[in-house]
Structures are given as C-alpha cells and as structure tokens.
Chains A and B, each alone.
Chain A
C-alpha cells in the first residue's frame, strides 16, 4: 500500500510545499519578532513530523520485539532515519530563528537540549543498525522505545521548565492568517514524510530480499 501511495503523496507534498511560500508571505508579521518569526512555518511542522516519526519508529520497534514481525523492523529502520533527517531540519532552522530572536545561535535550555538529545538517540539507533552486526536489530529496537518515551518530555519541557523557547500554547492561539499558513505547511510536511517513508521501506525490503538471496546462494 505504501508503494502505491508514494508517487501521489510525493506530488501532493511537493505541490503543497512549493506553494507554501505564498501562504507564508501572506501571513501577518508577528509583533515582537517580526519577519524572522516566519521560520516558524517550517520549523514547527518539521518538529511535529520528527516527533511523529519517533513514535512510528517506537511502535514499529515494539511490534518487532514483542510480535516478531520482520515487516515492522523495516518500518522502524525507515522511520528512525526520517527522524534524524527531520531532526536536522529542526536543529538548523531553529538556530537561524534564535540568532535573530534571542541574539544567540543556541541556548542550553530545556527544549533545545532535550530536542538535541532526542535526535542523538535516533542517530545512535542508526549507528547501531549500521555497525552493530548480527542481532543489532533488537538492540536498536530497544533504543527506539527509549527514544519514543522521550518525546513527551521534549514536548512538555517548555511548559514545565523556565525557557526562552515559545510554549505549546502558541499553536492553538494562532490567528486566522497565521493558522492557515501553518496547517498548510503541516499537511505538506506530513505528505512528504509518508512518501519518504514509503520509499525508505522499499529500500529495506530490497535489502532483506538481497540477504535472503545470498543465503540461498550459499546453500
């Protein structure tokens, strides 16, 4: 099913993404940050997709560990890589915004630090899969569960601790002009995420088939 969805989602996501700047340019300026606040329309959807991808990876890893479903392991590996990719987008667009809004590229506050740690957990997952050798899939699945458990902490960190980062009340309180552009970008990012997930799962499936063929060849 993912394979069939790949091209329609890629085209849809691409078109939404290509038209997003027009929506963003029409959105009103924010009163204290002004122009730089418009990075919000890429930064926050990327973060939402990063969190969602961490959940997909964690749930698929749990299904692999406890249900022993090989297909779930493929989805977990794909989702982990996408978590890292979208994490890079968040960790680059955020400092671009912070440099103007806060005067510094980076602050070791709760939200930024916990996001960096979340990203590093999934980098660790990928390193484990790549270099861990035989049986590393199960170890990596354990790491993914830990990473998934971190997501609520990252999300709520801005509400619990004193931090420079805007709180979670920002999105529900967006005005009509800002809200439309924001949700347009969210839909674009989600469509692209699912398309990329489909493509990445196809790669994993190919690798598994290759492994099976080599085993058959050895026999």
Chain B
C-alpha cells in the first residue's frame, strides 16, 4: 500500500513537473517571436489591464511576415495536454474497472464456496 502511494505521488509530481515545463517552453518559444500586433496587444494589456473585453472575434486576412509563427508549438502543446489528460483518464478508468472485476470474480468464488458449505 505504501509503495503504491509513493508511486502515485511520484507519478503526480512528474506530471505536474511536465506541465510546468511545457508552460515554460511555450513562454520561451512565444516570447522569442518578433514583436508585432500580438506583442503590442500583450504590451497594451500589461500597460492597460482595464481594457474592455472583446465581444467578437474578427478574422484577419493575412498576417505580416513577423507574425507568421508556426501554429505547431502552441497548438501541439495545448492539444498534447488535452490528449494526455483524456487518455490518462480513460486509462485510469480501465485500470480501476479491471481491479473491480478481478475482485468481483474472487468474492463471487468465495460466496459460492460459502453457500456450498
């Protein structure tokens, strides 16, 4: 029981560390991009934290060259986290169902033996 608890704690800490590392990686990769309207908006947000909330998204036809960041890093990070979370959860359900079914079979056997006696 102690070993399992330790293993779970280690897994949890590893996952948290990976998430933190991913977030740092995103920050590093996005802050190294050239300054542009996004940078201006971020800077604007820092300078004017009270700006009004957006009430619609307006698509842009063409980005200037300095804004042409590859979609992959940010999208992959968010996408990867979502995949990891959902697959991890599905795996945890599958493991728990497996354990319950094993225990069900065992207790069923014991009950049948007890009833035969």
User: Chain A residues in contact with chain B, CB under 8 A?
Assistant: 10, 17, 20-21, 24-25, 28-40, 42-43, 46, 85, 88-89, 92-93, 95-96, 99-105, 107, 158, 162-167, 169-170, 173-175, 177-178, 192, 196, 199-200, 202-203, 206-207, 209-210, 213-214, 216-217
B97 touches A203 (CB 8 A): yes
User: Chain B residues in contact with chain A, CB under 8 A?
Assistant: 19, 23, 26-27, 30, 36-38, 41-43, 45-46, 49-51, 53-61, 63, 67, 69, 71, 74-75, 77-79, 81-83, 85-86, 89-90, 93-94, 96-97, 100-101, 103-104, 107-108, 110-111, 114
A31 touches B71 (CB 8 A): no
**CA of A214 to CA of B33, assembled, Å:** 62
Pairs of residues from A and B, 4 with the lowest C-beta to C-beta distance, nearest first: A28-B59, A206-B100, A173-B56, A31-B60
Residues of B within 8 A of A36 (CB): 30, 38, 74
Output the least CB separation between B93 and chain A (Å): 5
**CA of A18 to CA of B115, assembled, Å:** 51
| Nearest chain B residue, comparing its CB with the CB of A45 | B82
The B contact surface, by secondary structure, is: helix
Output the least CB separation between A96 and chain B (Å): 6
| Nearest chain A residue, comparing its CB with the CB of B86 | A192
Residues of B within 8 A of A35 (CB): 38, 67, 69, 71, 74
